[in-house]
């Protein structure tokens, strides 16, 4: 790709970007949120047309006006949000739009089945071709997407954050797969925020910053700190531990709460100015616990106390009104109104809380201040949230709650899909809220993050508490052990 340029209204997304990819190589593409990685890949795949620049495949100039055209030239794009249709079977998903047809234009299901089975077997996947895609785990869905790329003999495979929802074991399987594809002479573009993966998976790394390519280096020539510096254009304090703080009185207390799904008999205390981390595997009930406190699924049994008074969450509206705030793990579907402005997205909750007439001018003044403090990068408060990067979107939701005011903040995956620089900013914002007396409960799959920001950690296993650790006691091994169910109750500070 040569001199690619693309401008969106108000934003220059790509400026004279050039990258090269050779057969039999894994190219890591890194950069902060909003650096232009996704836009560049959308250009390569014909989803977005560039304003300037050229694309060459095997030395031949190409112009893609749609995803299909790019696919026909041997480019496969595995997007961060997977594109499988849950209601269709694996085989139907694989051949969607390219089904082998009989002379009567009906689908040759037998051939579909056979070919799907072959490709799944070659990947070492134990999935029935007739299984509905919706029944597969995220990891298996990811593998099916890769199978799709192999099936149509893609020469170039683009993977955008493929591991954001995979377990370590699944990542290993993916790694072997990538190695095999590399040996077969395919070119792979690998996008990830996870530095360990970038270093262990790739041969070469290209770095984007603010829509420009700031350099390509062989993976061996660069170290972690150097790469982070290249991405951010400055030194980044990546490990940003929370200072020991004096926590206040108990703010929120759960007394043997039985909630939605598996959540059973959970008792925890949250103090003013404290960050309580909740560790747990996927399906351990960690999201359900937060959503129980927020009133999405009112508790079946048990008592809650907020600020010394009994508190019974019956709906998010009521929880919000009492001063509980929730930042969901799925920003787009549970958090944002993508077609609306930042102003509309942020002002909504405050409007509901105030129960008075909506006064746009007042909201604007106050949101302007919050937005500046959070460092939301956008042309203005009237810009649509759809045009913002992941980090900025997360800040918009945080701004919403700061604008509305809160006593307790529940955060589910505070930094999923967010780059190193912005992560640090988010941690800092959480610490600031702490200082103002807000109690924060954080759920995170990233153990390093949990250990770094929490004053105290409790673990959930199968919906029940399986451990509690003070900052001093907590380390990767013991927390992980508790998360995976090896009961070793350590008496913590609470």
Partner 1 sequence: MLLERIRNDRNLKVMVSLLLMIILILGIAGMITPRLLQPGHLIELARQSVPLGITALGQSAVILSGGIDLSVGSIVTMTNILAADMIRGRDNRTIPVVLFLLALGILIGGTSGFLIAKTGIPPMVMTFAMSSIVRGGDLLYSGGAPGGRASPMLRFFGAGRVGPVPVSVIIFIILAILVLFWFKKVRTGRSTYFLGNNFRAAKYAGVPVERRIVFIYAFSATMAVLSGLIFSGYIGVGSFEVGGEAFMLNSVASAVIGGNTFLGIGNIAGAIPGAFIITLINSILRSLGIAVTGQHIMQGVIIIVMVVLYTGQIGFSRKKLKKAGG
Chain residues that interact with partner 1, rule: CB under 8 A: 9, 294, 296, 315-317, 319-321, 326, 328, 333-340, 344, 348-349, 351-353, 355, 357-359, 400, 404
Looking at beta carbons only, is 383 or 459 nearer to partner 1? 383
Looking at beta carbons only, is 11 or 205 nearer to partner 1? 11
* Smallest distance, partner 1 to C-beta of residue 132, A: 22
**SS3 for 226-266, per residue?**
HHHHHHHCCCCCCCCCCCCCCCCCEEEEEEEEECCCCCCCE
Looking at beta carbons only, is 146 or 404 nearer to partner 1? 404
Looking at beta carbons only, is 169 or 339 nearer to partner 1? 339
Question: The tokens 């909003």 sit on which residue?
Answer: 34
Sequence-distant (6+) residues with CB within 8 A of 433 are 402, 409, 440
Query: How would DSSP label each residue in 24-90?
Result: TEEEEEE--TTSSHHHHHHHHTTSS--SEEEEEETTEEE--SSHHHHHHTTEEEE-SS----TTSBH
Beta pairing partners, 305: 253, 310
Looking at beta carbons only, is 235 or 339 nearer to partner 1? 339
Looking at beta carbons only, is 60 or 339 nearer to partner 1? 339
* Smallest distance, partner 1 to C-beta of residue 140, A: 25
* Smallest distance, partner 1 to C-beta of residue 320, A: 3
* Smallest distance, partner 1 to C-beta of residue 400, A: 7
DSSP 96: T
* Smallest distance, partner 1 to C-beta of residue 318, A: 8
Looking at beta carbons only, is 190 or 401 nearer to partner 1? 401
Counted residue by residue, the chain has a size of 494
Looking at beta carbons only, is 14 or 57 nearer to partner 1? 14
Helix/strand/coil percent split, the chain, to 5: 35, 25, 40
Angle ∠(175,93,148) on CA atoms, nearest 5: 35
* Smallest distance, partner 1 to C-beta of residue 173, A: 32
**Cα–Cα distances in angstroms (integers) from residue 286 to residues 401, 402, 451, 484, in the given order:** 21, 24, 16, 13
CA dihedral 250, 252, 256, 257 (to 10 degrees): -170
* Smallest distance, partner 1 to C-beta of residue 317, A: 4
Looking at beta carbons only, is 404 or 433 nearer to partner 1? 404
- The Cα 255–Cα 486 span in angstroms is 23
Looking at beta carbons only, is 9 or 97 nearer to partner 1? 9
**SS3 for 352-390, per residue?**
HHHCCCCCHHHHHHHHHHHHHHHCCCCCCCCCEHHHCCH
* Smallest distance, partner 1 to C-beta of residue 358, A: 5
Looking at beta carbons only, is 39 or 349 nearer to partner 1? 349
The encoded tokens of residue 201 equal 């998976």
Looking at beta carbons only, is 205 or 319 nearer to partner 1? 319
Question: The tokens 């350590």 sit on which residue?
Answer: 490
* Smallest distance, partner 1 to C-beta of residue 268, A: 22
Sequence-distant (6+) residues with CB within 8 A of 236 are 228, 229, 420, 421, 424
Is 30 within 8 Å of 226 (Cβ atoms)? no
* Smallest distance, partner 1 to C-beta of residue 339, A: 6
- The Cα 187–Cα 10 span in angstroms is 34
Is 442 within 8 Å of 276 (Cβ atoms)? yes
Sheet harboring 204-209: ordered strands across? 75-78, 156-160, 187-191, 25-30, 204-209, 212-218
* Smallest distance, partner 1 to C-beta of residue 304, A: 17
* Smallest distance, partner 1 to C-beta of residue 116, A: 33
Is 26 within 8 Å of 183 (Cβ atoms)? no
Question: The tokens 């972690």 sit on which residue?
Answer: 224
Question: The tokens 């759960």 sit on which residue?
Answer: 254
Residue 449 neighbours by CB distance under 10 Å: 18
Looking at beta carbons only, is 148 or 393 nearer to partner 1? 393
* Smallest distance, partner 1 to C-beta of residue 329, A: 11
């Amino acid at each position: 790709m040569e001199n690619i340029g693309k401008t969106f209204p108000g934003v220059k997304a790509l400026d004279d970007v050039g990258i090269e990819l050779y057969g039999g190589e894994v190219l890591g593409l890194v950069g902060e949120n909003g650096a232009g990685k996704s836009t560049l890949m959308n250009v390569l795949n014909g989803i977005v047309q560039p304003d300037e620049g050229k694309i060459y495949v095997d030395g031949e100039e190409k112009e893609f006006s749609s995803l299909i055209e790019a696919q026909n030239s041997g480019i496969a794009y595995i997007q961060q949000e997977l594109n499988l249709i849950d209601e269709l079977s694996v085989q139907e998903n694989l051949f969607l739009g390219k089904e082998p047809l009989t002379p009567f234009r009906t689908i040759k299901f037998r051939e579909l089945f056979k070919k799907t089975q072959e490709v799944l077997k070659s990947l070492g996947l134990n999935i029935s071709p007739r299984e509905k895609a919706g029944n597969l785990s995220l990891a298996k869905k990811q593998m099916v997407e890769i199978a799709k790329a192999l099936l149509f003999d893609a020469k170039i495979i683009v993977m955008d954050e493929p591991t954001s929802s995979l377990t370590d074991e699944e990542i290993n399987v993916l790694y072997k797969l990538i190695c095999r594809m590399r040996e077969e002479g395919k070119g792979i573009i690998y996008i990830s925020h996870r530095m360990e993966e970038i270093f262990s998976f790739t041969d070469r790394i290209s770095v984007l910053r603010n829509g420009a390519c700031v350099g390509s280096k062989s993976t061996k020539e660069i170290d972690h700190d150097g790469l982070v510096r290249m991405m951010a254009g400055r030194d980044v304090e990546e490990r940003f531990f929370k200072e020991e703080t004096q926590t206040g009185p108990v703010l929120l207390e759960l007394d043997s709460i039985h909630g939605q799904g598996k959540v059973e008999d959970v008792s925890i205390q949250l103090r003013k100015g404290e960050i309580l981390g909740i560790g747990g595997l996927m399906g351990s009930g960690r999201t359900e616990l937060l959503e129980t406190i927020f009133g999405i699924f009112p508790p079946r049994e048990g008592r809650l106390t907020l600020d010394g008074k009994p508190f019974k969450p019956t709906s998010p509206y009521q929880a919000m009104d009492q001063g509980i705030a929730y930042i969901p793990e799925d920003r787009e579907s549970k958090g944002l109104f993508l077609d609306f402005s930042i102003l509309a997205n942020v002002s909504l909750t405050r409007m509901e809380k105030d129960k008075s007439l909506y006064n746009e001018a007042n909201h604007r003044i106050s949101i302007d201040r919050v937005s500046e403090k959070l460092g939301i990068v956008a042309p203005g408060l009237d810009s649509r949230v759809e045009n913002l990067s992941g980090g900025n979107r997360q800040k918009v939701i945080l701004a919403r709650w700061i604008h509305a005011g809160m006593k307790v903040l529940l955060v589910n995956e505070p930094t999923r899909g967010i780059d190193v620089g912005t992560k640090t900013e988010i941690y800092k914002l959480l610490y600031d809220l702490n200082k103002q007396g807000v109690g924060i409960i954080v759920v995170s799959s990233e153990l390093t993050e949990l250990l770094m920001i929490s004053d105290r950690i409790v673990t959930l296993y199968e919906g029940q508490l399986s451990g509690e650790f003070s900052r001093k006691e907590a380390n990767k091994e013991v927390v992980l052990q508790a998360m995976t169910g090896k009961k070793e109750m350590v008496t913590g500070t609470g």
